[in-house]
Structure 1
Amino acid sequence: MIIRLMLSQVRTGIFAMLMLAVFTNPAFGGLIQVDMGATGQDVQAGWFPLTESGGPVAIAADFAAVGTDIIFSSTLDEFQDRGNIAGPLADVIEDFAFERPGPTSLTFSNLAAGLYTLTGYHNDFSFPGQFRFSATAVNGALASDILGAQDIISGTTTPVTSVITFTADGSTDVDVVYTATRLGSVFNGFELERIPATAVPEPTTLALLGLGLAGIRFCRRRNRRPV
Structure 2
Amino acid sequence: MKRSGPLFTLLAGLLLALFMLSLNVTEGARSTSTGSESSGDVVSASPTPTASPPSGKPSASPSPSPSASKTAVPNADYAGRTDDDSSAVAVTLRDGKAVAYFCDGKDQESWLKGDVKADGSMRLTGQNGNVLTGELKGKRISGTVDMGQRKYGFTADKAVKPSGLYRATATVRGAEVDGGWIVLPSGQQVGILNRAGKPSPAPRIDPETGAVTVDGQKLTAEPVTP
Q: TM-score, normalised by structure 2?
A: 0.21
Higher relative contact order (CA 8 A, sep 6+): 1
Larger-Rg structure: 2
